[in-house]
Amino acid sequence: MRITKLYIKSYKNLQDFTWELNPDYPVAVIVGKNASGKSNLLEAILTIFAQVRTDKVDKKFYFEIAYQDIDRNEIVFKNDEKGFSSTRNGASIDANRVFPKQIVSYYAGISVRMNRLISEYRKKKENTQDFDIIYAQEIHFRFALLALFGSNLDRIKVELLSNTFDIEEFISFQIKIQKPTYNLSKEANIENFWFAPTNLSIFFQVLIENSNHGRTDINEYVLTFNSEDLKKLMSSSIINNNEATFFEYLSEAFTNDYIRNIGFRFKKKGIDEILSFDDLSEGEKQRIGMRGTIELFLGNETLFLLDEPDAFAHPRWQWQFVPDLQETLGDSRSSQVIFVTHSPLVLSTVRDNAFMMEGGQIREIYGTYGQDAGMSLLKMDSEDRLKEVQDRVDLYAALVQDGNMQTDRAKEMKAKLIDELGINHPIFIELEPLEKLYE
């Protein structure tokens, strides 16, 4: 799916908000200062889809959202004074028939607002087994990597895990299934999986049957799997070698408090010791988890709403973030990634769909692709150096332009700037013709 248009009458600081996107480009990047409305925009989109999915659209929340499905049909959800309507190519249709397969949201850190929104959504759902809107947290990154470990696709094993992330061998994983804290029933016990939903009870039984070691007490199973156990688990009838299905089972079990953590061990190239997920840096966890989660849902109608997914990334990884997304999504029109960033490096890799948020409004920005970090910062309406240094640069440039470069003040200022910026800094190259003119 690809969102093409969005109108919001009023949502927090988004007032009479209108946005158009190019559906031929799978990634949209939004920059802007803090409190400009970037996160509110992602939250508003998620709110629209959550209300549509539960048939509980707020009568006072006026919006119109249009998107193309994989076959380029135009889907429009609209809510105004006449009420809610949903159409496909202009003809009325049940919104649930054209609802995206998945919507995945992510916030760098813990978002109380996002967590509350998703929790309220799941409470309102009639069928809690449809895992169609996901608030991705670190544990979901663990689920994604484990699902990729279980994949039988060489492309994932070689191109992604080995070539991209230097992960060469899966060793084992351990999972604990336990009684949910909210379940106070005396009849709920380990034998009936504490009255878990039917699909989860079947999943837990499959886990037990395919585990290598198990330990139980009155309120928990602790199960361990080696690489062969994982293969058997993935080939079971309920998972059927579908990585996304495995991810969804794990995610639903976590959401319902049956799983609170999962651990696994693996080896990386050039490192003799066996590593765990906790041994990875925050940047590695974020990059592996985000790329892995997107990889799992390729081919589905999926919308990814990401708030600063590059927050912990090394500058080189920030440069690679958008190209990685494009490579992962390929030519398929099934998915779209909309994400917020503060990184000028990321902005410099965006060919289209680059936007600036200001005061609750959005505008497209151009000429970002291929620019250096300094130019990208200027596109973001930000300074490319400290203000006190920039003030000295501006003052020295004015002295040169006025022919006063030979004064003691100008010489002293130039010497200080050379010490701070280096003699080969672009400002000195730009001013060199004037300096020569007034020598």
Mean pLDDT by 10 residues, the chain (439 residues): 96 96 93 90 94 92 96 96 96 94 84 78 67 84 91 82 89 93 88 91 95 79 94 95 92 90 92 93 84 84 90 80 83 88 85 92 85 57 58 78 80 83 70 67
Q: How far apart are CA 117 and CA 160, in angstroms?
A: 33
Q: How far apart are CA 259 and CA 193, in angstroms?
A: 12
Q: How far apart are CA 330 and CA 132, in angstroms?
A: 23
State the alpha helices, DSSP H only, in 28-84. 38-53
Single-letter amino acid code for the residue at 23: P
Half-sphere CA count of 321, side-chain side, radius 13 A: 34
276, 331: one domain: no
DSSP, collapsed to helix, strand or coil, labels residue 156 as: helix
Tokens 């090394």 appear where? 314
What number of residues does the chain have? Answer: 439
| 335-340 β-sheet, strand order | 133-136, 102-107, 302-307, 335-340, 27-32, 354-358, 361-364
Its domain, for residue 2, covers 1-136+297-383
132, 3: one domain: yes
45, 120: one domain: yes
| 83-88 β-sheet, strand order | 14-20, 2-11, 63-68, 74-80, 83-88, 91-92
- Among 249, 265, 288, the domain-final residue is 288
Q: How far apart are CA 375 and CA 387, in angstroms?
A: 16
User: Which residues sit opposite 106 in a β-bridge?
Assistant: 136, 306
Residue 380 phi/psi, 5-degree rounding, is: -90, 10
68, 128: one domain: yes
88, 176: one domain: no
**How many domains are contained in the chain?**
3
DSSP, collapsed to helix, strand or coil, labels residue 398 as: helix
120, 104: one domain: yes
35, 120: one domain: yes
CATH assignment of the domain containing 17: 3.40.50.300
114, 16: one domain: yes
DSSP, collapsed to helix, strand or coil, labels residue 227 as: helix
State the alpha helices, DSSP H only, in 150-270. 154, 198-210, 227-234, 243-255
The pLDDT of residue 115 is 77
The CA distances from residue 325 to 28, 295, 331, 344, 353, in Å, are 11, 9, 11, 17, 14
Tell me whether residue 370 is exposed, middle or buried, using C-beta atoms within 10 angstroms of its C-beta: 0 to 12, 13 to 18, 19 or more.
exposed
The pLDDT of residue 379 is 55
Pairing of strands 83-88, 74-80: antiparallel
276, 303: one domain: no
DSSP state of 260: -
213, 238: one domain: yes
129, 152: one domain: no
User: Which residues sit opposite 20 in a β-bridge?
Assistant: 5
Half-sphere CA count of 176, side-chain side, radius 13 A: 12
132, 232: one domain: no
- Among 288, 313, 329, the domain-final residue is 288
The answer to whether 97 and 39 have CB atoms below 8 angstroms apart is no
| Radius of gyration of the chain measured on its C-alpha atoms | 26
The answer to whether 319 and 341 have CB atoms below 8 angstroms apart is no
The answer to whether 206 and 236 have CB atoms below 8 angstroms apart is yes
pTM of the model: 0.81
Torsion of CA 10, 14, 19, 25, to 10 degrees: -120
The pLDDT of residue 79 is 97
- Among 265, 288, 311, the domain-final residue is 288
